[in-house]
Amino acid sequence: MRHPWHQASLRTGTELRVDPRVILSSQILQLSSVELESAIQNELEENPALERLEESESPLSEQSVLESLLPEAALPCSQDWEFRRSLPTEEGVDWLDYVCTEDSLGDHLRAQLAQLVPEALWPVADYMVDCLDERGYLDVPVEEVALATGCTLEQAEEVHRLLRSCDPPGVGATDLVDCLLLQLRGDTTEEGRLARAILKNHVEELASREVGKLARRYRVSPEAVEAAFARILSLDPFPVDGTPLTVGAKRPKASPAARPDLTIRLRDHGWEVLVHGPEPSMFTISRSYSNRLQQLREGSRGQREEVRHVGEFVKRARNFIESLGQRCKPLNRIGRYLVERQPGFLATGRYQYLQPLTRTRMAHDLGLHESTVSRATMGKFVEIATGEVLPFDVFFKPALRVRKMIEEILATENPRRPLSDERIAELLAQKGVKIARRTVSKYRQGERMLSSHHRRSA
């Protein structure tokens, strides 16, 4: 007869036992799409029973199916005008006509201006694009453009204004300072506003790095001036060829955009949720290993060690493939949930439409464990309908929503009449966010945004 403590210990040991497949699924769910690729590569190297299927070079299409089943039906009809038009002529075919070429800067700019400039002014826009030099600067005065194209000076200035709004930022500038100011347009951060003021009024102090003088002039800390200097030095002086500034220390270029783990798009037929990462169908168990395991199981018992060895690799590969499939399910459900709860934000990227949400609430609504939601979203990124790639944290941090709304309000304020913190609080209240003036001040300072007094002077 066993003692009660022994029975309790057995019961506890049974309760703490966890299926290895559950552990593996949790580990894979926690990985981002980039980390998952690395984990897959390691598994392929360590487990010979796991194989990755080769991607088909020519995907199966309706035409290929038709050609294989009914070859005569796939032949083009002699009445097919497109077919006859594509037949070689007596002069022969110049295959260089079919070579893919990259758009030039002129093509890139003309495509943008075609959506902005009235049709009557297209010749002016075309001429102005031709007047850009190798740096992307406008090489001739606007008055000369008006004279050469026969338009009024006001029309030429309007086309110039539209050209300066095109991508890449800074194109159409008249000089270096103008180019840098164009790139700072719309920057509502403290260093961005201060950088604009320095470029407009104190280029000599910038060249000589008179930090103290500028700090006293704008009543800011020396660190704020240094941040403005770094912001200026991070800009591209020549928007076309990308030559970096060489004066003083440079801030490293911004890192590439994060790779999304989940994409939520708005299509004509509705919302589409796409989970990124390899799918289970891309992997299989090695045929040689599965055949060998079957032979060993049907053979004699003297090969028990080899059966165990081969069986472990096959089981490991099967569990890995199943775990890849389990990873997609919670991410897809989370994406669908966000479509239901956050459609306004997903469609526009405007933080005023972002509804308060927590991981606990999401887990409860989806019937998932909170740890599952945490693993599925922590450290991962989602691409919304606007093309922005954002961390999942934006959905679960209320303070971030408020800070972003403050940025949006300041971005649209009248620079001659900057909004006070109290007025910002009132505007937030109208949008359903009730916070105190001092909280607005705290968030603004946390984002290194200038006060209304300094924004007016900047």
pLDDT digits (tens, 9 = 90+) for 154-209: 999 999 999 998 888 888 898 888 889 988 988 888 888 898 888 888 888 887 78
Is 381's pLDDT higher than 70?
Answer: yes
Question: Does 6 have pLDDT greater than 70?
Answer: no
Given a cut of 70, whether residue 102 has pLDDT beyond it is: no
CB atoms closer than 10 angstroms to residue 198: 21
252 versus 31: the higher-pLDDT residue is 31
C-alpha to C-alpha distance for 186 and 101, rounded to whole angstroms: 33
CA-based nearest residue to 451, from 193, 123, 111 = 193
Average pLDDT over residues 322-327: 86
> What is the model's pLDDT at position 162?
92
Provide the token pair at 77.
């009809």
What confidence score (pLDDT) does residue 448 get?
56
Phi/psi of residue 122, nearest 5 degrees: -60, -40
Contact yes or no for 457/197 (Cβ under 8 A): yes
Task: Look at residues 309, 316, 394, 410 and name the one whose alpha carbon lies nearest to residue 357.
Answer: 394
User: What whole-number distance in Å separates Cα of residue 435 and Cα of residue 425?
Assistant: 6
Query: Who wins on pLDDT, 438 or 85?
Result: 438
Distances (CA, A) of 111 to 103, 149, 358, 386, 429: 10, 20, 43, 20, 41
pLDDT > 60? residue 112: yes
Q: What value does the mean pLDDT take over residues 356-373?
A: 87
Structure tokens at 431: 């949008």
Give the CA-trace dihedral at 221, 223, 229, 231, to 10 degrees: -110
Least confident of 202-211, 311-320, 430-439: 430-439
| Residue 319 scores a pLDDT above 50 | yes
pLDDT at 4 over 50: no
Mean pLDDT value across the chain = 77
Q: Which residue has the higher pLDDT, 315 or 352?
A: 315
Instruction: Kindly report, residue by residue over 382-405, the tens digit of the pLDDT.
Output: 999 988 898 888 888 766 777 777
Question: What pLDDT is stored for residue 54 in this prediction?
Answer: 73
